[in-house]
Amino acid sequence: MSPSDSPRRPPFVHRITVRWADCDPAEIAYTGRLPYFALEAIESWWVEAVGLDWFAMHAERNYGAPFVHIDLDFRAPVTPRFPLDCEVTPTRLGKSSIAFRVVGRQDGQLCFEGNFVSAFVTSKPFAGRTTPPEIRALIEPLLEAGKS
């Protein structure tokens, strides 16, 4: 089977319950919660893709991937009336960084879309580092699959 024949991997979607605690007097999720939701979705992607949450990365591998950039466009309010589905797609794996696209939808409607870039660091001492090889080995196939 040639690469072009390979089945396209289904998108990774992390579902969030939007709670009373997340909403403000306008009866929608507070703006500041939306980056939290997107970050939670990205952390869930890490667990799925490489089997490590951020704490395990930090505690067991002595590395991390703190964010150096985020941007978000809000297209429709996020409400407590529906679950929030956050689709996470890795878009680029660099020499020492990784980029993601996150799209949030409720009941089929686009709510927000954004881009997130993380740079790899060693935890202790805190310092920049190149992409860990075991991370690269797991993520590159996902990026290839995403292109097919």
Interface positions with a copy of itself (CB under 8 A)? 19-21, 23-28, 30-32, 35-36, 39-40, 43, 53-55, 58-59, 64, 66-74, 77, 80-81, 123, 126
With beta carbons less than 8 A apart as the criterion, state whether 64 and 55 touch. Answer: no
Rounded to the nearest 5 degrees, what angle is found at the Cα of 45, between the Cα atoms of 16 and 99?
115
Kindly tell me which of 58 and 136 has the beta carbon lying closer to a copy of itself. 58
Q: How far is the CB of 119 from a copy of itself (least distance, A)?
A: 9
> In sequence order, which ranges of the chain are alpha helices (DSSP H)?
33-50, 54-56, 133-147
Kindly tell me which of 9 and 75 has the beta carbon lying closer to a copy of itself. 75
E-strand stretches of the chain: 12-16, 63-64, 67-74, 84-93, 97-106, 109-119, 121-122, 127-128
Kindly tell me which of 43 and 139 has the beta carbon lying closer to a copy of itself. 43
- Residue at token pair 């979705």: 41
Kindly tell me which of 43 and 85 has the beta carbon lying closer to a copy of itself. 43
Q: How far is the CB of 145 from a copy of itself (least distance, A)?
A: 26
